[in-house]
Structure 1
């Protein structure tokens, strides 16, 4: 996680507002299940895409 989020934010001098999930920080993220399927996508603190699973 550090390699993909915190380290790039530090390299850009933005670790105060990006790079980790903390209150007050900006973050876009995805949630995945145990099989690495995307469950939802969140942008600006709001869910923008809820994946539909086919059974």
Structure 2
């Protein structure tokens, strides 16, 4: 599997492009890929994905 995180987040398996879902799902995948296997706290995820509107994170 190859994951691109610079520019649009995209991924391929055996040169076949993968459907990564909606924008939020692609953002989460990119964030996890950039973490290089290191765990991220809930606070880090919320801050990176929702920033100034963490109330939306609770509903999601």
Answer yes or no: same fold by TM over 0.5.
Answer: no
The answer to which structure, 1 or 2, has the higher relative contact order (CA under 8 A, 6+ apart) is 2
Based on CA coordinates, which of the two structures has the bigger radius of gyration?
1
Task: Give the TM-score normalised by the residue count of structure 1.
Answer: 0.30
Q: TM-score under structure 2 normalisation?
A: 0.28
Q: Higher strand share goes to which structure?
A: 1
